[in-house]
Structure 1
Amino acid sequence: MSEFTGAGLGLRRSLLDDLLQAPAGVVDFVELAPENWAELGGSAGRRFRALTERYAVAAHGLSLSLGGPDPLDEDWLRRIRRFLDTHGIADYSEHLSWTAAGGQLYELLPLPFTDASVRHVSARIRRTQDVLERRIAVENISRYATLPSSLSEADFLLAVLHESGCDLLLDLNNLYVNEGNHPHREGGSDAIALLDRLQRELPAERIRSYHVAGHLETRDGLRIDTHGEPVIDPVWRLLQAAHARFGVRPTLLERDSRIPPFPELLDEVRHIRELQRSAA
């Protein structure tokens, strides 16, 4: 299995040639969605195989619907396991959300922060780990609506991690987005307070990795997790805050739209490395 450390970049089809032609070491790892690559064949499949032989790879799922009402798709889980094994990928993560109800909705939808949700999603995570034969990580997601809840986000995350035995992929841009969309004074999010709570109650090694990304802020102040802009300074500061509490972890730059020239992406990857060196 390839080593998963340092500063990474999300794999998109448009970046495949740049990554194959880049000098060794410009990126420490790439992260991919199995949904986009598992069935790839032909020349694109051969190029993808060349990339997995050159870079460490992490996998980050989009469609498993860990919190959803439909039965867990164990056929898809077995296909994921074969894909991971074929390409020597040890690390797999998914979103702490739901994405399907009688069919895929192609959205990462939030869960109510309740004890019932904890039990439901934790059982599905445990089954996922059994089928994949891997301990997975789950990512905290961005939210645009406040659902009826009896727990705080920190309560919910800690309870799921405890009951399922999985790790946390800590997305710092999502913390920032939620802080703006759900102000703490209204019972919503406080990014630093959430990090402090995790530090008090979660062993640091349960933080598997970090994500950073850019987002869009609308004229009325809504923050939308588009992955289509450069990372802004407050998100970089949250990464530094995470370093101070949990240490350096593999950190991914996500960019899904409005993708700039490859050298501009590498500038942000280099900034991740600079912050990692400073923290170390």
Structure 2
Amino acid sequence: MQADVVSGAGLGLRRGLLAGLQACSASELDFLEVAPENWIGVGGRLGKQLRALTERLPFLCHGLSLNLGGFAPLDIELLKAIKGFLDQHGIVGYSEHLSTCADHAQLYDLMPLPFSEEAVKRIAERVRLVQDVLERPLIIENVSAYAQLPGELDEAAFVCAVLERADCQLLLDVNNVFVNSINFNFDAQAYIASMPSARIAYLHVAGHYDQASDLKIDTHGAPVIDPVWALLEHTYAVHGVRPTLLERDFNFPPMAELYGEVVHIRQMQLAAVQSRGYGT
């Protein structure tokens, strides 16, 4: 089941980074990732700049508003537009959040789900419908959270159950595991180890905000911290080296600093291959 989507280390493309990325090359980045909702139908100068990048580097799409965990009917018109965008730009993989983000209207946030068997069945059906419309596999992402809803499963078991029942792939967000491990007091390394290796398509790392010693907020607005780098190293040790993307949504530093974090990912990947013999 493991998706051969991309390889190496990549960066999330945001409009604030678009101009700076025009000069990037494969020596600096192996791939980029965009949110399709922010780019569908965009033309003019911005559209041309995006097209120039998609013609030069491999791309992934990371959706924001599919509402996989919700009860409202899936937005089939949005799915068709996403499929057209993926086809137009030759996007090699599409991921979405394992969360609720809409009810009668878009909530503009990723809300938690009940970790229940009923939710597993319902979400798996929605995932299969998405895959049918897109005519390609769906990659689902574990999300950060600040509240937990009643359910008979823990988070790791819930994620694994959805993956198995829907027969889909996983975007394992290492920072989200770290954030939730602090917010809900569980073992982040054990969570990582419990994920099914064969379903892990790629990884995310990012920075977060320390609201309190026991409350982390997943902001993507700061550099990756050492405990998250350590958890990424653990992930490579358990599952082998996987394509890994750096997310940064605001507080953009100079491009050289972002490239420096991407280089750090590459160095960790190389060290894991050399010391443990894991492949990419």
TM-score range, shorter chain: over 0.9
Matches within 5 A, 1:116-131: 116-131=118-133
Q: Mark the runs of 5 or more structure 2 residues left unpaired by the alignment.
A: 274-280
Partner of 1:47: 49
Q: In the TM superposition, what is the alpha-carbon distance from 1:22 to its structure 2 partner?
A: 2.6
* Matched-pair contact (CA < 8 Å) for 2:32–2:58: yes
- Deviation digits for residues 169-208 of structure 1, max 9, x if unmatched? 000000110011111xxxxx3211112222xxx2x23100
Quick one: percent identity of the two aligned structures?
A: 53
Structure 2 counterparts to residues 103-114 of structure 1, below 5 A? 103-114=105-116
Give, in whole Å, the separation in 1 of the partners of 2:53 and 2:159.
34
> For residue 182 of structure 2, what is the aligned residue in structure 1?
180
Correspondences of 1:141-220 after superposition (within 5 Å): 141-183=143-185, 189-198=186-195, 202=196, 204-219=197-212
Could you say if the C-alpha distance between residues 208 and 140 of structure 1 is closer, same or farther in structure 2, counting changes exceeding 3 Å?
Answer: same
Give the match's secondary structure for 2:115: coil
Cα distance in 2 for residues equivalent to 1:253 and 1:272: 9
Secondary structure of 1:58's partner?
Answer: strand
* TM-score with structure 1 setting the length: 0.94
Give the structure 2 partner of residue 91 of structure 1. Answer: 93
CA distance in 2, matches of 1:51, 1:19: 8
1:57 Cα deviation from its structure 2 partner: 0.2
Matched residue SS, 1:54: coil
One-letter amino acid matched to 1:232: I
| In structure 1, C-alpha distance between the alignment counterparts of 2:128 and 2:26, rounded to whole Å | 37
- Corresponding residue of 1:186: none
Letter in 2 for 1:236: W
State the alpha-carbon separation in 1 of the partners of residues 164 and 198 from structure 2. Answer: 13
- What SS is found at the alignment partner of 1:39? coil
Using the TM superposition, give the Cα deviation of residue 53 of structure 1 relative to its aligned residue in structure 2, in angstroms.
0.5
Question: Which segments of structure 1 move beyond 6 Å, counting only runs of 4 or more?
Answer: none
**What is the aligned-residue RMSD (CA, Å)?**
1.2
Identify the residue that residue 68 of structure 2 maps to in structure 1.
66
**2:117 paired residue number:** 115
- In the alignment, the residues of structure 2 paired with residue 263 and residue 226 of structure 1 have an alpha-carbon distance, to the nearest angstrom, of 21
CA offset at residue 24 of structure 1? 4.1
Q: Look up the match of 1:224.
A: 217
Deviation per residue, 1:107-153 (Å, 9 max, x gap): 01110100111011110000000100111110000010021111011
Among candidates 245, 263, 279, match of residue 272 of structure 2: 279
Distance in 2 between the 1:23 and 1:105 partners? Answer: 37
State the Cα distance separating 1:34 from its structure 2 match.
0.1
TM-score using structure 2 length: 0.94
Q: How many residues are matched?
A: 270
The letter of the residue matching 1:227 is H
**Structure 2 Cα separation of the partners of residues 160 and 219 of structure 1:** 31
> Which runs of 5 or more structure 1 residues have no equivalent in the other structure?
184-188
| In 2: Cα distance, 1:266 partner to 1:40 partner | 26
Kept in 2, the 8 Å contact 1:90–1:134? The answer is no
Find 2:14's aligned residue among 6, 12, 23: 12
The partner residue of 1:238 within 228, 231, 256 is: 231
CA–CA separation in structure 2 for the residues paired with 1:229 and 1:209: 21
1:1-38 superposed Cα distances (whole Å, 9 cap, x missing partner): x9621100000112112111134420110000001111
Q: Cα–Cα, structure 1 residues 132 and 23, in superposed 2: closer, same or farther, change >3 Å?
A: closer
